[in-house]
Amino acid sequence: MGMTISQKILAAHADRDEVTAGDLIEARVDLVLGNDITAPIAIKEFTDLNIKSVFDPEKVALIPDHFTPNKDIKSAEQVKILREFSKAQGIKHFYDVGRVGVEHALLPELGLTRPGMLIIGADSHTCTYGAMGAFSTGVGSTDMAAAMAVGKTWFKVPEAMKFIYEGKLQPYVSGKDLILHTIGDIGVDGALYRSMEFTGTVISSLSIEGRMTMANMAIEAGGKNGIIEPDDITLEYIRSRSSEEFTVYSSDKDAEYVDVREYDVSKIEPLVAYPHLPENVKPARESGVKIDQVVIGSCTNGRIEDLRVAAEVLRGRKVHADVRLLVIPATQEIYRKALYEGLFNVFLEAEGIVSAPTCGPCLGGHMGVLAAGEKCVATTNRNFVGRMGHPKSEVYLSNPAVAAASAVMGKICHPDELK
């Protein structure tokens, strides 16, 4: 029986020739990630072990991104734990304000997430790195603590689902719409425990940014990981970011899939996920829902490509008088690029604001929290009750073009409804 790309990566890291779905294995990890919410707990558990050092200070990444720049005393204390632990342990990949960014945008940019790697992170959107052909998944703080100590963790080998995208993308349709369409199709538990493998000619021509957006949201369908086989686009991206060696895996022809779905993307319109689940997907066109705020950013859609798309829609236009537009470049590098490309001028002239890289409002942390009854279009990945603030506020998920157009119209719309 053949293996999927995910199974091959797991087998290689468990020093086995083969694994089968359902097997419980122990595997070496190539990178262990934590943020300012999850790492402090893991650091405490690690410290209780009374051992001198982490398994490999180059393979641990501590990224304070959620409440940074520190929003209050408590969050400052959390980040301080990461900072001091990093110093004491010689952890190379700790990044502070001025260098930090949203973890799942930052690590790929630093070349730390490469094909064939096995990556765990105490953050559910760790699945993003599947866009580079890595096996990556979210875990708990205890998992992170143990992995920091011994450099390995346990896995149940997942079954796999294959999603094939064919046809021609319509204007303003992006990776975000493909993944929203998919979640709308299978539901928020449609891929529970499973690998989601994205493939087809549409994926082959999708940018690395679009692929990251898709893999990022695998967890919103309950998936254990999302993954795309590396191709020339991947390799070009990786080589521009890293000189480290890596292994490219791909799925065998006779690999087993519990479900295979094919989508004709020509029929997919720009989409919006209505409150309070990412599966509540409807076309953006003529939605007409009036909004109070628009957030363009996050680990899902805060990359340079996303900002360019938003700026294109906003160029020469003004944000609706009743709407607040917040643009949050996901990393310092993206921030600098957007600045040099003149995108900030576009956002500022449209009367939006640009903030420093942070998760901020994505999890209702700071920098744009919602009041009761307010509605927000966000390019983020979760629209659960209270996700961006008050339990009676609402989040609508969309791609950056729809978000930008909606900011101008004051209500959710398709970008071509702008005149």
Partner 1 sequence: MKAHGKAWKFGNDINTDEIVPARYLNTSDPDELAKHCMEDADEKFMEKMAPGDIIVAGSNFGCGSSREHAPIAIKAANISCVIADSFARIFFRNSINIGLPIVESPEAAEEINEGDEIEIDFDSGTIENITTGKTHQAKPFPPFMQDIIKKGGLMNKVRSELS
| Amino acid making up residue 72 | D
Shortest distance in whole angstroms from residue 366 CB to partner 1: 22
Q: Distance (Å, rounded) from C-alpha 131 to C-alpha 413? A: 29
- DSSP-assigned letter for residue 132: G
When asked if residue 26 is in the footprint of partner 1 (CB under 8 A), the reply is yes
Instruction: Report what 66 binds from ligand SF4, partner 1, none; CB cut-off 5-8 Å by kind.
Output: ligand SF4
- Structural tokens at position 312: 């294109």
When asked if residue 16 is in the footprint of partner 1 (CB under 8 A), the reply is no
Binding residues among 91-150 for partner 1 as defined by CB under 8 A: 124, 139-143, 145-146, 149-150
Instruction: Report what 140 binds from partner 1, ligand SF4, none; CB cut-off 5-8 Å by kind.
Output: partner 1
Number of chain positions touching partner 1 (CB under 8 A): 25
Count the neighbouring beta carbons within 10 Å of the beta carbon of residue 280: 17
Instruction: Report what 222 binds from partner 1, ligand SF4, none; CB cut-off 5-8 Å by kind.
Output: partner 1
DSSP-derived 3-state class of residue 203: helix
Shortest distance in whole angstroms from residue 385 CB to ligand SF4: 16
Helices (H), 242-323: 298-301, 304-314
- β-sheet bridge partners, residue 26: 154
Q: Which of 310, 342, 305, 312 is nearest to 327 (CA)?
A: 310
- Structural tokens at position 120: 């765990």
Query: Residue 202 or 359: which CB sits closer to ligand SF4?
Result: 359
Residue numbers of the site for ligand SF4 (CB under 6 A)?
65-66, 102-104, 123, 125, 298-299, 359, 362-363, 380-381
Q: CA–CA distance from 327 to each of 11, 98, 320 (Å)?
A: 41, 17, 15
**Residue 91 dihedral angles phi and psi, to the nearest 5°:** -75, 120
Shortest distance in whole angstroms from residue 195 CB to partner 1: 12
Q: Which of 104, 98, 353 is nearest to 216 (CA)?
A: 104
Query: Residue 65 or 143: which CB sits closer to ligand SF4?
Result: 65
Q: Distance (Å, rounded) from C-alpha 118 to C-alpha 112? A: 11
Instruction: Report what 381 binds from ligand SF4, partner 1, none; CB cut-off 5-8 Å by kind.
Output: ligand SF4
Residues with Cβ < 8 Å from 189, sequence gap 6 or more? Answer: 221, 222
Name which position in 72, 189, 236, 244 contacts partner 1 (CB under 8 A).
189
Binding residues among 41-60 for partner 1 as defined by CB under 8 A: 45, 48-49, 51
Query: Residue 160 or 395: which CB sits closer to ligand SF4?
Result: 395
Residues that bind partner 1 (CB under 8 A): 22, 24-26, 45, 48-49, 51, 124, 139-143, 145-146, 149-150, 154, 156, 189, 192-193, 222, 224
